[in-house]
Amino acid sequence: MDKVALLKAVQAAQAGSWSDSHQIAQDYSDATANWLHAVLHKIEGDEWNSKYWYARSAGHDYYDFDNVTEELNAIHESLL
């Protein structure tokens, strides 16, 4: 896992740059990157694909957070 890259990806998502964030997240396959990837697809409205990535995120679930902003903040905190 490249924490610096994933932090940049989270910051991009928080700034509304879905594409930039997705570009980074899809380059990694660890649980945190998969969690971020899942949230990005949730933001996009692609529920099936989002759930696919949640299944690869070491225990996180599509329904854990109602608010994607809070979830992005949780990912950010997990990387610190």
Q: Which pTM was predicted?
A: 0.95
Neighbouring C-beta atoms of residue 29, cutoff 10 Å: 11
Integer angstrom CA distances of residue 33 from 1, 10, 26, 53: 8, 10, 7, 9
Element (H, E) at 29: none
Angle, nearest 10°, between helix axes 68-79 and 31-44?
Answer: 160
List the chain pLDDT tens, one digit each, 80 residues: 799 999 999 999 999 998 999 999 999 999 999 999 999 999 999 999 999 999 999 999 999 999 999 999 999 999 99
Q: Which residue has the tokens 């899942």?
A: 38
Calpha distance 45→68 (Å, rounded): 12
